[in-house]
A and B are shown apart, each in its own frame.
Chain A
Amino acid sequence: MNGQRTIGAEAVVIGGGIVGCASAYYLARRGVKVALIEKATIGGEASGRNGGGVRQQCRDRRERPFAIASVKLWEGLPAELGFDIEYVRGGNIRMATNDARMELLRREGAEELEDGLQVEMWDRDELRRRAPYLGEVFIGAKYCATDGAANPILVTKAFGWAAQRLGATILTRTEVVGISIEGARVASVTGRDKDGELVVEAPWVINAAGPWSAALSHAIGVEVPVEPARSVIAIVQRCAPLFREFISSHDLGVYARQAREGQVHVGGTNVPAHTFDQRAPADVLEHLARGAAEMIPALRGANFLRSWAGTLEMTPDKVPILGHVDGVKGYILATGFSGHGFCLGPIAGKLVSELVVDGAPSLSLHEFRLARFA
């Protein structure tokens, strides 16, 4: 097709992950005419390739109020989005295999209670009683009952569908080729799909492109310090219901949750490799297999069925970049979630909508400003 197509909007979101889709959804809900541009498919990257944990505990203190606020939003999502996203508040257990880890958890727990998050410390006996499926290796744990998990593939898509129902334009398989600035303000985003180029004109541009946000931002002279990182998940074939909590051990370097259909998803807590390569390496699969067998001995008879990898975007301090950018009016960064974007996605999207519509967000974004890295 020849000729350039132009779409007029009030805000354009780049990236169809959970942060982008939630932004589009909350913007559309506030009556903003929004378009979302996604290079491939909705939820096709890290948003649909993560462990599915929706967790408030064990977070950086700067992030904690956001996680708590997000979980409040999560509660209403199944009804609001009109889709069964398999959200379950099954609790979150962070285990320890040694006293030093236990002490870290204890200190963190005290801080969490101070910040208004209810958590419990479990000693060995309590852990055996509450989570008898866990391996003998653990000496205790911290537990947060209001944490949970959801189906990561469906949540992001459900946000996209809901946004669409509210009038948002979702452009998939459309690669962003440039962001235009006029004066000191964003003016439009140019994308390319199979039919050629199209321009979305809007006074607000939200960059929620995760690992790809840095390159897009660099083109308009805004440096975003995020690095790609590969996160691998392996799937244990369907088995009888074993546990409902989201469980993790940084000592073993693994986390797991059992999906509603019975498959157990096993991921790694180690610092992942900095690469865009999405093939799962053999040594990582081995590590996940060993970790799963030690963490949940009942899985020893089960099979790994498949694996996949996704690309996270890591900031130097592992907390997000969210908010306006000095010098470029109308440009909002919602990126750098460092593997925490799934839980935080809904609140991030809501805050984006507040930045655009109200001018001021309901939670201070000071800690998440880009300038902290300057």
Chain B
Amino acid sequence: MTEQVEIAVVGAGPGGLCAALAAAQTGAQVALIDNNRNPGGQYYRQTARGFRGEPSSHQREGAALLQQVIAAGARIIAETNVWGAFDDKVLALNDGAATTYLQARAIILATGAYDRPVAFPGWTLPGAMTAGAVQTLLKEQRILPGKRFLLAGMGPLQLVLAAELARAGAQVVAVLEGSRVFPRVLEHAGALWGQWARLSEGLSSWLTLARHRIPYRAGWGIVAAEGAKQVEQATIARLDENWRPIRGSEEKIACDTIALGYGFIPFNTLSRLLGAKQEWRPELGGEVPMRDAQMQTSASGVYAVGDCAGIGGAALARIEGQIAGIASAAQLGHGTADAIPARASALARERRFQQMYAALFTPGAGLYELSQDDTILCRCEEITQADVRRALALGADTTNEVKLITRGGMGDCQGRMCAHLIANFIARETGRSVAQVGILPPRPPIFPIPITALGVTR
């Protein structure tokens, strides 16, 4: 059976919550779908029930926003995956027990992003994980997955994570920042005007780092992880401006956990399935849907907000969410779009910050050159760089062709981990861009769904 709803919002992070709130406040009928037990997304990620701990300011803000969304009349559909999108704006939902279909007159996608994977010798050792995973464990279940952390990556989120880890009692051996951020941030100082919350959070994280004497090394990056059964040490190096390790600068650093925070990749699978035209924007994280000023994609009635349409952070996601919520409701005859211009200055401010962030924190080509021929690029199917090289020698020249020959990208991660690694390797080997090489086409179900649940319709 297919249920009808006026506006379906997918993803309950900052963008989705604000979209749902703005739309519901106009009187539109709104359903907000999220695959976590507690809405909030990564930014507002709530502590799971049964785990103690004082909520952070982000968690309180997220919980309050959720209450507003509920009070405005939006229906929250939690712990539910959207595993497919079909013609006439039909979304296929699954809660692990059964499939339901939701047909919307407008869809607002706020599906966020996932951590950019980076392959280097040793990256599949236990103990090497994404910064997002470390943060999820920390926020949701108050778990420290290690004792001695090395943070390697880029951007201010690393500072936040380092501070959170230090406050939770972990030892942070170093924070490696790939970008040579300090001379360059001055060129963009103007974009920091008005970013008081961010500056204050940055300052507070900075002070925590100083208090715990955590070394912060700008222009440094990870090169390799080593250990018998799990990470025991890392090789790090100074990077040149293309993020290539400078020979001779290598150092060994002892640690048991490496948190990799090299930015994010927009999760644009649903907008692709819904037929929205995409463009390649490396500074926004990769492939993103093209949008108009009201956040509508080329697929009529399909909107995309926040990181799934280009990495921009929570504040930008909130404003984009509000605009899409108001615009989609107005299109259906609820309220007017008059409230959108009032958001223009906030939107411009966040876009300036986004541009600054992109200018400072778009990784250089060297990040994708750390892998060696025996390095695994597709961990689900255990496909090495050499396997990919052999497929290229057989004539494959796209990520999809390499997948067909090697199985790289066919595993449980559905390409989220490996497709970009393989695409970057092919691009580098064939002298083309990642956009030309392509990433994998979406193939529903876009999340693994139990066959018993997929076969049961409610």
Contact = CB atoms under 8 A, between A and B. Distances in A.
Contacts of B381: 261
A16 to B, nearest CB: 12
Interface centre among A48, A161, A286 (most CB of B within 10 A): A286
A301 B450 contact: yes
Contact of A300 (B92, B412, B452): B452
B55 interface: no
B215 interface: no
Contact of B450 (A43, A235, A303): A303
Contacts of A287: 455
Contacts of B445: 285, 304-307
A263 B410 CA distance: 10
A280 interface: yes
Nearest to B415: A306
B83 to A, nearest CB: 9
Given A261-B407, A306-B444, A307-B445, A282 B451 contact: no
B450 A302 contact: yes
B457 interface: yes
A301 B451 CA distance: 7
A310 to B, nearest CB: 12
A307 B451 CA distance: 12
B90 A289 contact: no
B452 A286 contact: no
Interface in B70-118: 84, 86, 90, 92, 99, 101
B232 interface: no
A237 B455 contact: no
A274 interface: no
Given A153-B405, A282-B92, A305 B414 contact: yes
A308 B400 CA distance: 13
Interface in B390-406: 394-395, 398, 401, 404-405
A161 B394 CA distance: 8
Contacts of B414: 305-306
A280 B92 CA distance: 12
Contacts of B443: 280, 306-308
A299 B451 contact: yes
Interface string A273-315: 0000001111001110110110000011111111110000000
B449 interface: yes
A237 B411 CA distance: 7
B190 interface: no
B401 A289 contact: no
B451 A303 contact: yes
A238 interface: yes
A285 B444 contact: yes
Majority SS at the chain A contact face? mixed
Contacts of A282: 84, 86, 90, 92, 99, 101, 444
A238 B412 contact: yes
Given A153-B405, A157-B394, A238-B412, A280 B451 contact: no
Contacts of A97: none
B8 to A, nearest CB: 15
B448 interface: yes
B444 A302 contact: no
Contacts of A299: 451
Contacts of B398: 41
B121 to A, nearest CB: 25
A48 B90 CA distance: 29
27 contacts: A44-B404, A153-B404, A154-B405, A157-B405, A235-B410, A236-B451, A237-B448, A238-B412, A261-B381, A279-B86, A281-B86, A282-B92, A289-B452, A290-B455, A293-B455, A300-B450, A301-B452, A302-B450, A304-B449, A304-B450, A304-B451, A304-B454, A306-B410, A306-B414, A306-B444, A307-B443, A307-B445
Interface of B: 84, 86, 90, 92, 99, 101, 381, 394-395, 398, 401, 404-405, 407, 410-412, 414, 443-445, 448-452, 454-455, 457
- 7 shortest A-B CB distances, which residue pairs? A289-B455, A303-B448, A290-B455, A306-B443, A289-B454, A289-B451, A153-B404
Given A303-B449, A304-B451, 12 more contacts: A41-B398, A41-B401, A153-B405, A157-B404, A280-B444, A285-B454, A290-B455, A293-B452, A293-B455, A299-B451, A301-B452, A305-B445
